[in-house]
Amino acid sequence: MGTRRIRGTVVAAAMVTGMAGCSAPGGGEAAGGSADSVVIGVASEPDTLSPLLGYGKDGNSKIFDGLLARDAGLRLRPALAKALPEVGDGGRTYTYTLREGVKFSDGEPLTSADVVFTYRTILDGKTNNSSRSELDAVKEVRADGDDRVVFTLKYPYAPFAGRTVLPIVPEHIAGKQDPNTGSFNTRPVGTGPYVLADWRKGEKLTFKANPHYWGGTPKVRTVTMAIVEDDDVRATRLRSGDLDGAVLPPNLAAAFDDDANRKVHEARSYDFRAVTLPTAGEVTGDRAIRRALDAAVDREAMVDKILDGAGRPAYGPLPEDDPWFAEGVERSRDLGRARRILDEAGWKAGADGIRVKDGRRAAFTLLYPSGDKVRQDHALAYASDAKKAGIDVTVESATWEVIEPRMHRDAVLAGFGSTGDPDFGLYTMLHSSLAGDGFNNMAHYDNPAVDRALDTGRRSQDPAAREAAYDTLQRELVKDPGYTFLTHIDHVYVLADRWDGLTTQVEPHEHGFASGPWWNLEDWRPKK
């Protein structure tokens, strides 16, 4: 991946406002000093740092390790396990042997009991982990001595090894607490390269190098994640030297293209933006409305104008360059088709151009999180496209605290996307059994053909059967869209040019905090 120049217009206004109010997140000293510390600006912070509640489930946590990890090319490699798993019983057993000499950051040794405790606690229905369904295949996990762990599956689950990047927690600490409310959620102990030194909610998290880290003490000794929700403010603080690096929208990152002291890093991703269309809504629940919106949206214009070319049109949840992508589902904007769909469904244009059916206007509210300029721009463009078809979309910004209780009845400009296997992201987003389960299936989508495809994709060992299932799924989403898929986004970061060893991975939706050029922070070396 590496670095590349991003085309686009410099947004100068963001760089000259708010400078006086910036304070250094590192506790009084501005960024830009020694290469053994780094201050990074990110848009949000986790609700919890406990893997038992879902933190770090896709890998790349700086505090924890999984049995396996992914390299720069997303290939699985050993982490806490000394080797890839031994697979037996036709794909129903996975046996891992633990690496010798691994200690938690408190000095206590890692054993197989910690692995068993971690998985059993997550699988316990009393634990508030909304990602539990991702481990549906697990029937039992048991220790075989102090250094071996055996997973027995209910059915052969082809991508199971990819699920074992899940971080392992210490039973001797977390086992003495309620996983939902215990202090471990904010004061975690792990085996990873860093330990949490301080967490000031809404402001910053500070990490220090773990002296017990099995991979060797990192050269970057201190890491501060500054929580800066607003994109423009993040860019301003980066320009002022208050931050060493930040995740930025493409047009703001373009302002640093010619900066000799900073580099722009771009990572391909599975991250996409989509509008959730709740099936319970009087308007969004109408399939004709959803199909018309799918036809009316100008995805190519969004990529060009909003993303500055740093992305691709999204014709479904998988990007075009994914090997599982269903050829032929690509589609361009077609306002004529959108209008015909609405006409045939009985949605007739009113005096103001907005469609009406049975006395009900084709109107709904679209929420997006405050401070997220990329989502704001997507939402406004979506509303503009919808109006051309006769659908009135009112765009409204709100905090997630406001959005969450409303997201099952109001549309949301949402982000999704997981790496590793199509099951990892599609099941939780689309399966009807997970409707309304936290951020899972936010649209309450219910399509029996899609459910069958998801179940086949999850349970089959046959690559051809899985490919056919996900092909069917993507084509069903065109016929019956529960979401309007808009764009797949390339993640863009700007970072001071003081270190060697930086690279990027193809990234999931979750980024900035654990993903980005700092996904392998423990391997960075100061430039000489």
Count of the separate structural domains present in the chain: 3
Q: Report yes or no on 104 lying in a domain.
A: yes
**Both tokens assigned to 387:** 């109006």
Beta carbons within 8 Å of 203's beta carbon, 6+ residues apart: 25, 226, 227
**Together in a domain, 506 and 444:** no
Instruction: Identify the CA nearest to 390 among candidates 419, 429, 351.
Output: 351
What is the per-residue pLDDT for 15? 27
d(CA 322, CA 201): 37
Q: Report yes or no on 8 lying in a domain.
A: no
d(CA 48, CA 492): 25
**Together in a domain, 361 and 427:** yes
Strand 245-248 relative to strand 37-42, pairing = parallel
Q: Report yes or no on 193 lying in a domain.
A: no
d(CA 314, CA 167): 31
d(CA 495, CA 505): 16
Where is the domain boundary, 160, 185, 210?
Answer: 185
**Together in a domain, 255 and 140:** no
What is the per-residue pLDDT for 510? 78
CATH number where 357 lies: 3.10.105.10
Instruction: Identify the CA nearest to 472 among candidates 288, 270, 329, 272.
Output: 329
**Together in a domain, 395 and 409:** yes
**Together in a domain, 172 and 235:** no
Q: Report yes or no on 260 lying in a domain.
A: yes
Side-chain-side CA neighbours of 361 within 13 Å: the count stands at 14
Give, for all 528 residues of the chain, the pLDDT tens digit. Answer: 343 333 333 223 332 233 233 334 444 344 656 889 999 999 989 999 999 999 999 888 899 999 999 999 999 999 999 999 999 999 999 999 999 999 999 999 999 999 999 999 999 999 999 888 889 999 999 999 999 999 999 999 999 999 999 999 999 999 999 999 999 999 999 999 999 999 999 999 999 999 999 999 999 999 999 999 899 999 999 999 999 999 998 889 999 999 999 999 999 999 999 999 999 899 999 999 999 999 999 999 999 999 999 999 999 999 999 999 999 999 999 999 999 999 999 999 999 999 999 999 999 999 999 988 899 999 999 999 999 999 999 999 999 999 999 998 999 999 999 988 999 999 999 999 999 888 899 999 999 999 999 999 999 989 999 999 999 999 999 999 999 999 999 999 999 999 999 999 999 887 767 788 999 999 999 998
**Together in a domain, 226 and 375:** no
Q: Report yes or no on 138 lying in a domain.
A: yes
**Together in a domain, 71 and 112:** yes
**Together in a domain, 462 and 514:** no
Mean of the per-residue pLDDT values of the chain: 91
CATH number where 165 lies: 3.90.76.10
CATH number where 36 lies: 3.40.190.10
Q: Report yes or no on 195 lying in a domain.
A: no
**Together in a domain, 97 and 128:** yes
**Together in a domain, 509 and 405:** no
Per-residue 3-state assignment (H helix, E strand, C coil) for 470-512 = HHHHHHHHHHCCCEEEEEEECEEEEEECCEECCCCCCECCCCC
Q: Report yes or no on 191 lying in a domain.
A: no
Q: Report yes or no on 510 lying in a domain.
A: yes
**Together in a domain, 65 and 156:** yes
The answer to whether the beta carbons of residues 472 and 453 sit under 8 Å apart is yes
Where is the domain boundary, 140, 158, 185?
Answer: 185
**Together in a domain, 388 and 447:** yes
Domain that holds residue 214: 13-45+201-265+492-526
Sequence-ordered strand ranges (E) for 80-124: 86-88, 93-97
Where is the domain boundary, 150, 185, 220?
Answer: 185
pLDDT tens digits, one per residue of 327-359? 999 999 999 999 999 999 999 999 999 999 999
What is the per-residue pLDDT for 60? 86
